[in-house]
């Protein structure tokens, strides 16, 4: 009975499948491959793969970010972490993301300090400043960052 409750709980909170002991390793591999096949077969539309938050356009599949400055589109030379930061902030441009949230989504190493986010944001800002895009990302003192200042 407890095993059934565990299965149902797991499935309700988002598990795709549930395997109980004892299990056959070949069956686990087959189940994992089936999940991968389903996820790869699902078509991604443009709305999911390209984020637009003017003047930015972020192509998640190509890992390419561009910014339009004075009518000219520039491709940004970003590190993986800078790309992840910009993409996360562009998903909700006026929402404030805490350092902890940005660490969890952009710095999955786990042993990074919260202030490591500040360093990456600073480097991202420098690259944008060099192109004439200033004050992005915007700091929210004592909380974290958002893409736009809201002014």
Give percent of the chain with pLDDT exceeding 90: 50
Same domain as 32, residue 102: no
What residues make up the domain containing 132? 47-146
Q: Is 58 within the bounds of a domain?
A: yes
pLDDT at 55 over 90: yes
Same domain as 92, residue 30: no
The tally of domains found in the chain comes to 2
Same domain as 104, residue 56: yes
Same domain as 135, residue 90: yes
Q: Is 78 within the bounds of a domain?
A: yes
CA atoms of 55 and 67, how far apart (whole Å): 5
Query: The whole model's pTM is what?
Result: 0.68
Q: Would residue 99 be called left, alpha or beta, if left means φ above 0 and alpha means ψ between -120 and 50 degrees?
A: alpha
User: Looking up tokens 């004592």, which residue turns up?
Assistant: 142
Give percent of the chain with pLDDT exceeding 70: 87
Same domain as 8, residue 52: no
What are the structure tokens assigned to 63, written together?
């890992």
Q: Is 151 within the bounds of a domain?
A: no
Same domain as 77, residue 132: yes
């Amino acid at each position: 009975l407890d095993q059934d409750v565990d299965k149902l709980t797991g499935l309700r909170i988002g598990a795709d499948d549930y395997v109980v002991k004892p299990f056959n390793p070949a069956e686990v591999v087959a189940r994992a491959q089936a999940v991968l096949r389903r996820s790869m077969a699902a078509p991604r539309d443009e709305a999911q793969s390209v984020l637009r938050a003017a003047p930015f356009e972020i192509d998640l599949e190509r890992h390419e970010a561009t910014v339009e400055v004075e009518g000219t589109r520039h491709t940004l030379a970003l590190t993986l972490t800078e790309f992840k930061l910009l993409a996360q902030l562009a998903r909700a441009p006026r929402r404030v993301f805490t350092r902890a949230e940005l660490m969890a989504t952009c710095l999955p190493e786990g042993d990074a300090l919260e202030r490591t986010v500040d360093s990456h944001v600073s480097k991202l800002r420098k690259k944008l400043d060099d192109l004439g895009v200033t004050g992005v990302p915007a700091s929210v003192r004592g909380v974290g960052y958002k893409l736009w200042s809201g002014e």
